[in-house]
Every structure is written in structure tokens, then in C-alpha cells.
């Protein structure tokens, strides 16, 4: 197994589309498409986002993650994460986080005790109380020693993306086609 940064545009689009569909559900309305479009049009354009995959020994993707840089370019936040079906690897998403936690200044957000427990088991040991009951964890390679040390993560306005879809059907149709094409062409190997 190894972690792969998916750089090829076609494979990146396919992996991002699959990741959005897996995280938000295949019948989640406009949210997966808006995240897909905003990530590509804002974060990827600014070189602030990375699509990573954990591949098995046959180079098949078994977990996917979207990492976004902070505003200072010093650390990365796991924004989206999913494990894919695997006959050979148990808990592939957790394995991906474990690998990343060893190598990168990583930030994660846990929305509940179960998520925090899972991230702790992946090697995220330092935790802070965030807003609205969120727990924010950082890997040992992250420089933060208190919550105020954690720079803001780069982001885009999802509502603005949805508004652009409503105002310009060509933008909506273009990203929808790219999203569907990505889902249909998800690579069997990377």
C-alpha cells in the first residue's frame, strides 16, 4: 500500500467526483456538485487542494481524501475522506489518515466522540476544543500547541457556487458533465 497524490487532471476529477458522491451520497442534491465545482475552480486553481488516494498492492484505489492547505501554507486539513470497498485492506480510510498523520502537518475535525476516537487510533494525538462542539486534532508534525496557533484553512463560498449555477446554466451544465464523466471514468488503478 502507498499514498498517491492524484495529479493527472482526468484522474483527479474522477477521484474528486467519487469522493464527493461517497461523502454526500449519490442522491444528495446539489451539495456534491457544488463542492466538486468549488474545489476545482477555486482551491485547485490556487494550488491549495490535493486529492490523495491510498492504493493497494495492485494499485487499486481503496481510500480517497481531499486535503486543503491553510492560509499560511504550513499545514493541511482533511476536508473529505472516504474508504472504498476493499477485499485486501481493512479500514482503508483509517489507514490513509494513519499514513498522512506520520508524514504531514495534518489537521482533522471530529464532529463527535466516535470520530475523535477513530482519528486518535490513526495517530492524531493532540486535540483542541473548536467551535460548536467540534474537536480539532493535529498530527505530531503540526506546529500548533493551542487552538490559536492553527491557521485558517483555505476555503470557498459554497453558496456563491450554487448562485453561479443558478445564474449561468452553462457553468452548471459544464460542471455537471465533468462530475458525471468523472464518476463514469473512475480509475480502477492509479
- Alpha-carbon span 119 to 135, nearest angstrom: 11
Reported as type and span, the H/E element at residue 96 is helix 92-103
pTM of the model: 0.94
Integer angstrom CA distances of residue 18 from 78, 83, 138: 16, 11, 26
Instruction: Supply the pLDDT for residue 87.
Output: 85
Contacts by 29-32, CB closer than 8 A, 24 or more apart: 30/162, 30/165, 31/158, 32/179
What are the grid coordinates assigned to 24, written together? 454526500
- Alpha-carbon span 112 to 104, nearest angstrom: 23
Contact criterion met (CB below 8 Å) for 180 and 18: no
What are the grid coordinates assigned to 124, written together? 492524531
Instruction: Supply the pLDDT for residue 25.
Output: 86
Query: Over the chain (190 residues), what is each successive 10-residue block's mean pLDDT?
Result: 96 98 86 96 96 96 98 96 90 96 96 96 95 94 93 96 96 97 96
Query: Taking Cα atoms as reference points, which of 2, 121, 95 lies closest to residue 55?
Result: 2
What is the SS3 assignment for 185?
coil
Q: How far is CA 59 from the centre of its chain?
A: 20
Instruction: Supply the pLDDT for residue 86.
Output: 84
Q: Residue length, the chain?
A: 190
Amino acid at each position: 500500500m502507498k499514498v498517491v497524490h492524484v495529479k493527472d487532471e482526468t484522474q483527479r476529477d474522477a477521484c474528486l467526483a467519487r469522493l464527493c458522491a461517497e461523502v454526500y451520497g449519490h442522491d444528495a442534491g446539489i451539495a456534491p456538485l457544488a463542492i466538486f465545482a468549488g474545489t476545482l475552480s477555486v482551491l485547485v486553481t490556487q494550488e491549495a487542494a490535493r486529492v490523495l488516494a491510498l492504493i493497494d498492492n495492485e494499485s487499486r484505489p481503496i481510500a480517497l481524501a481531499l486535503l486543503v492547505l491553510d492560509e499560511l501554507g504550513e499545514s493541511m486539513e482533511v476536508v473529505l475522506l472516504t474508504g472504498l470497498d476493499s477485499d485486501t485492506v481493512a479500514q482503508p480510510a483509517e489507514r490513509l489518515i494513519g499514513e498522512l498523520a506520520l508524514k504531514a502537518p495534518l489537521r482533522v475535525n471530529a464532529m463527535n466522540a466516535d470520530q475523535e476516537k477513530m482519528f486518535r487510533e490513526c495517530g492524531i494525538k493532540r486535540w483542541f476544543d473548536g467551535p460548536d462542539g467540534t474537536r480539532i486534532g493535529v498530527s505530531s508534525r503540526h506546529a500548533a500547541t493551542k487552538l490559536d496557533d492553527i491557521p485558517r484553512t483555505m476555503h470557498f463560498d459554497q453558496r456563491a457556487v450554487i448562485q453561479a449555477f443558478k445564474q449561468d446554466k452553462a457553468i452548471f451544465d459544464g460542471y455537471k458533465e465533468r462530475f458525471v464523466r468523472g464518476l463514469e471514468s473512475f480509475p480502477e488503478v492509479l
